[in-house]
Structure 1
Amino acid sequence: MGELRSCPKCGDFYNYTGIREVCGKCAQEEEKMYEDVYRFLRKRDNRSATIEQIVDATGVEEDLLHKWVRKGRLQPAMFPNLGYPCDSCGALTTKGKLCINCQTELKSELNKFEAAREFRESVEESERTTYYADSNKKKQ
């Protein structure tokens, strides 16, 4: 059973089942726009078109293009200048939520954090070491 939601495009109520983010009427409009974009991109000359060029030629919103790339409906392998914004910096990426630069930076920061944690643990371990003096030893 779905839940009643308001369509973000037109404001009408629709039964949300987890499949579409918009009402049926808006979904049909989006599908028509998708067909226009795909028809435009199928032409050999347009395969390397940028997002801005596609928006200018078809009138489709940039957010819809990002959505279709993210969902895999438009493949960056076939259309190399397509992508969607990185969740961190906004640069175009073709898979995941972060671009390569943000992934590299995040991995670097995680490695630094892990090294610092290991250092802190080794310092704490050395501070826990107890040294005992042997008072039974004879002095010469």
Structure 2
Amino acid sequence: MAEIKNCPQCGDFFNYTGLREVCHKCAQNEEEMYQVVYKFLRKRENRAATMERIVEATGVNESLIHKWVRKGRLHPATFPNLGYPCDNCGHITNTGKLCSKCQDEIKSDLRTFEAAKEFRDNIAKGEKGTYLSDRNK
């Protein structure tokens, strides 16, 4: 079911159905900008352009290009210098929400947590039923 929202770009009301985050007018404007960027990147000499070069040549906002890469409209496999910021540290990545460094840190923290949990569980198991009594009394 659609709900009424304000467009974050122009402030107009629109029916939000979950398909796009902006109104129809702004979506058309974004699509036109996408075509400009894609046309620029299709040229062989521009395929390896940096983000700064793309922004400079097309005039399109960097955050909009990040959005297209994140959604899969511009593929880093085809355009190797494209990416988007990691949700944790801001370093440029090509896949997922986190860069490989942040993923490795989280994996390391999880391994440490699991090892500590296993250690605590082993200690708890060892304490059960190991009561000493002095039978000589």
State the TM-score, normalizing by the size of structure 2: 0.94
Q: For 1:1-140, list aligned pairs within 5 A.
A: 1-131=1-131
Q: Secondary structure at the match of 1:10?
A: coil
Q: Secondary structure at the match of 2:27?
A: helix
Asked which structure has the greater CA Rg, the reply is 1
Structure 1 residues not aligned, in runs of 5+: 136-140
Deviations 1:27-81 (A, max 9, x none): 0000000000000000101000111110111010011001000000000000000
How far did residue 132 of structure 1 move?
A: 6.2
How far did residue 130 of structure 1 move?
A: 2.8
Structure 2 residues not aligned, in runs of 5+: none
How far did residue 128 of structure 1 move?
A: 1.1
State the TM-score, normalizing by the size of structure 1: 0.93
Distance 2:23 2:116 in 1: 51
Distance 1:88 1:36 in 2: 30
Deviations 1:77-134 (A, max 9, x none): 0000000100000001111110000000100010000000000111111111234669
> Percent of aligned positions with the same letter in both sequences?
65
Distance 2:99 2:105 in 1: 10
Distance 2:43 2:60 in 1: 17
Stretches of 4+ moved more than 3 A in 1?
131-135
Q: Secondary structure at the match of 1:15?
A: strand
Q: Secondary structure at the match of 1:65?
A: helix
